Structure 1
Amino acid sequence: MTPFVVPADIDDVTVASGGNTYDRRMCDLLGLDKVPVAGRWPTPSTKARVALADTLAEIPDGSVALIDGLVACGVPEVVVPHTRRLKLVVLLHLQLADETGVQPERAAGLDRREREVLRAASAVVATSEWAARRAIAHHGLDPKRVRTAPPGTDPAPRAAGTDAGDQLLCLASVTQRKGHDVLAQALANLADLPWTCVCVGSVRRDPGHARRVQGLVDKLGISNKMIIAGPLPDADLDATFAKTDLLVLPSRRETFGMVITEALVRGIPVLTTNVDALPHTLGPGTSSGGMLVPADDVPALTAALRRWLTDAELRERLREAARARVVEDWPTAAKRLAGVLR
């Protein structure tokens, strides 16, 4: 059984993330040996470093082992020595320095550490073609050792939505990279229109930023309409999806954007930003089932939301396009990763 070394919080619903979902699904579908390791990277404690070193040391020489980049990429002094005896495959969800808000000096240090790990690995798996190309260019990797295995989706019933189209959902951890502050400012500009926006996602990834977002929402006077709900159990999230008209993802950086395909599989249109992998994940042109705006652009996001809320013809056109989209399922996604491991 192939070991898969993953973050210790992989099953903690209070810090749910697309990366953790991806890791869990691959373990289940491929029968990988899930090995959680204590500590959050890229700043692991001494105890966490020792735990990771012990975990890798227990894997027999010559074995294929998969390791989450959030575990591996910040600690080359622990990981690189084992690449000489293991066929180590690094799953790169997000380059460490891409987390919004990282100071330049720290970002440069994370880049150096990550580059050392990725260059030493037997293979690197990225979750989108965009992320693969960027990793190759940014870190000078051999393209032959970089593979792509995008996330999948589960079958889901079509969302009923509402006639007015005024039920909005932002499904993302409340971190600076996800752009909730931009969304709050845009929504505050729409006081003349009816709408409700439920923000579902962890507030523990960056509690300081989550508090600032809630403070901004309160200051703008929209706390009764933009609701920071935190994480929801699967049943409650399914119920929220069922009544959602539009998914809004105002991210500043994104290597795939799993929530986009999760919305599209339910026939829910998407409003997101034209950064990184998001245009590819959403799909091209009018057949995509969504709209793109620049990141960090409050006026553009305001205008797109106003257009959605006031243009019934646009809503129907995007709904029809979203319902017609075909997105990859998890078994197909798992086959791609299995191919790399073979």
Structure 2
Amino acid sequence: MRDVHEIAIGGSWPVPAAPARAALDRALRDIPDKSDVLIDGLVACGVPELLEPHRHRLRLIVLVHLPLSDETGLDAAEAARLREKERATLHLATRVIATSNAAAQRISDMHDLTDVAVAVPGVDPAPLAAPSADGGRLLCVAAVTPRKGQDLLVTALELDLAELSWSCTFVGALIRPVAHTSANIRFTGPKAGVDLDAAYANADLFVLPSRAETYGMVVTEALARGLPVLATDVGGVAEALGHAPDGTLPGFLIPPDDPTALAAALHRWLTEPALRAELRASAAARRETLPTWTDTARHISAALNA
């Protein structure tokens, strides 16, 4: 693989604050001419004016996770402003890489790009989770924001499934907390390392009710433990979920922003033991075919050398 300068700059999203902008500017100026520079799109796409002076002396490679204007809750004017900044950045780039085929198509269509490469995120191996008898331990791992749809899951659980036995743990930073009344719902805040591993190990079903998602790494993290997944069919989630070698789906895909469909899928999971067994078998089989980080590195290397 070629020598690549990777720039990681902290700061507020989607446009870095002044100290982060200054740090990015210094980092770019210090990189030798004709170098490959890999920059996260969450930073790069908000500051095309910092990249423009370097477009001819550096190979700028931008990795796009989520188009800036696709963030849930933006007003039309802000979305348009971010879309124009992102468009300017991506047309400065030598190479654009997306994290799913769906994201690549979205970026291509939005910004009139003809060759967006794809490097699907890998996942680390993990031990199988041990299922409980009733399958009632539900887990959602995601920052608590409108885009991730935790409010839809709370609504489905409290209004439609109150008579069933379940518990639901939400792991992730509380960016916008969701009100709830059930004692069976718990928001833990963020977890990492052994604490996050324990959360997955003590779950039966992983739930991701996102309104938008370019890939969904948490989906493959759940599948790596053999956990079936209930997720909305948005962006690259279907790619992350994939299929077992026999063609079966290791979980459920439902329409976004539909608490009724979410409740119906949860009801089936909680009341049909045979279905739970089938989905667990499919998830365990899918576990053996998940992408690795070596695969990701190979795809990025191919994009850089194209």
Q: Give TM class, smaller chain.
A: over 0.9
Which residue is equivalent to 1:120? 92
SS of residue matched to 2:170: strand
Query: Shift of the alpha carbon at 1:58?
Result: 0.7
Determine the C-alpha separation between the residues in 2 that align with 1:332 and 1:300.
34
**C-alpha RMSD of the superposition:** 1.4
From 196, 206, 214, the equivalent of 2:167 is 196
Separation in 1 of the partners of 2:26 and 2:303?
Answer: 25
Partners of 1:136 and 1:142 within 8 A in 2? yes
For residues 22-41 of structure 1, give each alpha carbon's deviation from its aligned partner in whole angstroms, at most 9, with x where no partner exists.
xxxxxxxxxxxxxxx24223
Q: What are structure 2's unaligned runs of at least 5 residues?
A: none
- Code of the residue aligned with 1:101 in structure 2: it is G
Q: Residue 4 of structure 1 aligns with which residue? A: 6
* CA–CA separation in structure 2 for the residues paired with 1:236 and 1:256: 24
What's 2:152 paired with? 182
Give the equivalent residue in structure 2 for 1:82.
Answer: 54
Alignment deviations for residues 225-254 of structure 1 (CA, whole Å, 9 cap, x no partner): 110011113111111211211000000000
Are residues 1:132 and 2:107 paired? Answer: no
Residue in structure 2 matching 1:337, options 297, 300, 303: 300
Q: Distance in 1 between matches of 2:264 and 2:249?
A: 19
Give yes or no for the alignment of 1:268 onto 2:231: no
User: Which whole-Å CA distance do the structure 2 matches of 1:164 and 1:330 have between them?
Assistant: 34
Q: CA deviation at 1:266?
A: 1.2
Match of 2:17 among 32, 38, 45: 45
Which of 55, 58, 69 is 1:97 aligned to?
A: 69
The answer to whether residue 200 in structure 2 is matched with residue 241 in structure 1 is yes
Counterpart position of 1:311: 272
| Whole-angstrom distance in 2 between the partners of 1:139 and 1:194 | 47
* Higher helix proportion: 1
Q: Distance in 2 between matches of 1:279 and 1:75?
A: 31
Whether the 8 Å contact between 2:214 and 2:236 is mirrored in structure 1 is yes
Alignment of 1:46-85 (within 5 A): 46-85=18-57
Deviation, structure 1 residue 44: 2.3
* Deviation (angstroms), 1:341: 2.7
Q: Is the 8 Å Cα contact of residues 124 and 147 (structure 1) preserved in structure 2?
A: yes
Q: Distance in 1 between matches of 2:231 and 2:37?
A: 35
In 2, the alpha carbon distance for the partners of 1:308 and 1:61 equals 56
- SS of match in other structure, 1:288: coil
Cα distance in 1 for residues equivalent to 2:16 and 2:43: 9
Secondary structure, in 3 states, of the residue corresponding to 2:50? helix
Structure 1 position 339, deviation (Å):
2.3
Displacement of 1:182: 0.5
Asked if the contact 2:51/2:92 (under 8 Å) is kept, the reply is no
Residue identity opposite 1:307 in structure 2:
R
Report the count of equivalent residues. 298
- Residues of 2 paired with 1:242 and 1:281: CA distance? 20
Q: Which runs of 4+ in 1 moved over 4 A?
A: none
State whether structure 2 residue 289 is matched by structure 1 residue 287.
no
The match for 2:184 among 225, 250, 263 is: 225
**C-alpha contact (below 8 Å) 2:15/2:43 kept by paired residues:** no
- The percent identity for this pair of structures is 48
Query: Is 1:173 aligned to 2:151, yes or no?
Result: no
Shift of 1:202: 1.5
Name the CA distance, whole Å, in 1 between partners of 2:238 and 2:264.
Answer: 19
The alpha carbon displacement at 1:142 in A equals 2.4
Is the 8 Å Cα contact of residues 5 and 71 (structure 1) preserved in structure 2? no
State the alpha-carbon separation in 2 of the partners of residues 109 and 230 from structure 1.
32
Whole-angstrom distance in 1 between the partners of 2:18 and 2:199: 41
Paired with 1:38 and 1:307, the residues of 2 have a C-alpha distance of: 43
Moved more, 38-47 or 261-270: 38-47
Residue matched to 2:82: 110
Q: Structure 1: which 5+ runs fail to align?
A: 7-36
- 8 Å contact kept, 2:62–2:95: yes
* Residue-by-residue CA offset, 1:291-340 (whole Å, 9 max, x unaligned): 01111111111111111000101101100111111211111211211222
Q: Is contact 1:38–1:51 with CA below 8 Å preserved after alignment?
A: no
TM-score by length of structure 1 reads: 0.84
